[in-house]
Every structure is written in C-alpha cells, then in structure tokens.
Amino acid sequence: MQVFIMRHGEAVLDAASDAVRPLTLCGRDESRLMAAWLNTKSVDIERVLVSPYLRAKQTLAMVREAMTLPEEEVLPELTPSGNTKHVGGYLQALAMQGVKCVLIVSHLPLVGYLVAELCPGESPPMFVTSSIANVELAGNGHGKFEWQVSPSQVIAKV
C-alpha cells in the first residue's frame, strides 16, 4: 500500500487554541501547489485520513481543489501528539482490506514519527509545512521510506 503523509500548510501562530489555528494565505498556496504536484503523479487515492484540527482540514480542502478524493475520515489519533502505533495499526488493517493508496494530513511531530513507526530503522524525517512523504507499506506491516518533497523543491523544478 502506498501511504502519502502530508503535513498541514503554514498556520497562524495566535488562536484561541492550537486546534483552531487556521492556515495563512501562504499555507493555502503551498498546499495547493503540493496537491497540483501530487496530482501529476497519477495516484489513485482510495482513503483519506485527516486530523480533527482546523489547519489540517483546511489543507485537505486545498488538496481537494487539485485532486478528486474520496470522503475523508477524521482520526483523533492524527493530532500533533497522537499515537503512531494506533495509526500504523489502522493502516495495516486498511492494507489487509485491500486498500492500495492512502493520504494522511496531519502535524509535526506525528508525521515524522509515523514515518519512523512504519519504516523500522528510519529516523523521523523533518517535515516543512505542506511537504509530502511517500511510504510503501508491505504486507508484513514494514514500510520503505520512498521520498519526501517540499514546496520549495516543487517550485525549484518549475
């Protein structure tokens, strides 16, 4: 199963709580840029998992502008301090059901720790805002960290 792990776009620093921090204009633009780039890879995303936090949901809305996606599933485990073992177990269950491609939109530090959870021996990579990583998850539950791309890398290729 292919797992695309995306960190939310840039968000404002001040809000009533961390859960309601909205995206900045730059965050919206970078998320659209990354979605358009991912769309050129001809991926067929079957499941979408998103954090309940506002900035992650807004990032997903920007991705939807560039890609046709199925309805999302909001997972409380995808918050910044969520449990990567639970998320990894859920991904394995999806793989056993025959799901071949999943998009996750979440936060630091969870996104980096999730890569490390899925790919034994891999150090948690740093994710800049709106960046996307790809993990190929094998049937045994062990993944291979394939690549990671950031908005600045996409801009440099244009």
pLDDT, tens digit, for every residue of 8-27? 999 999 999 999 999 999 99
**pLDDT, tens only, 122-135:** 999 999 999 999 99
pLDDT beyond 70 at 85: yes
What is the pTM (predicted TM-score) of this model?
0.97
Domain boundaries, the chain: 2-156
Q: Are 51 and 106 in contact (CB under 8 A)?
A: yes
- For residue 58, is pLDDT > 70? yes
Percentage of the chain beyond pLDDT 70 is: 99
* Contact assessment for residue 14 and residue 131, using Cβ atoms and an 8 Å cutoff: no
Q: How confident is the model at residue 32 (pLDDT cuts 50, 70, 90)?
A: very high
Do 42 and 52 meet the contact criterion of CB atoms below 8 Å apart? no
In this structure, what token pair is assigned to residue 75?
């997972």
Q: How far apart are CA 92 and CA 130, in angstroms?
A: 25
Q: Three-state DSSP class for 134?
A: strand
Radius of gyration of the chain (CA): 14
Confidence of residue 28 (pLDDT cuts 50, 70, 90): very high
| Averaged pLDDT, 16-39 | 97
Please give the helix or strand (H or E) that residue 101 lies within, else none.
strand 101-106
Instruction: For 2-156, give the CATH class.
Output: alpha beta
* Mean pLDDT confidence for 32-48: 96
On the question of pLDDT at 158 being above 80, the answer is: no
H or E element that contains 147: strand 143-149
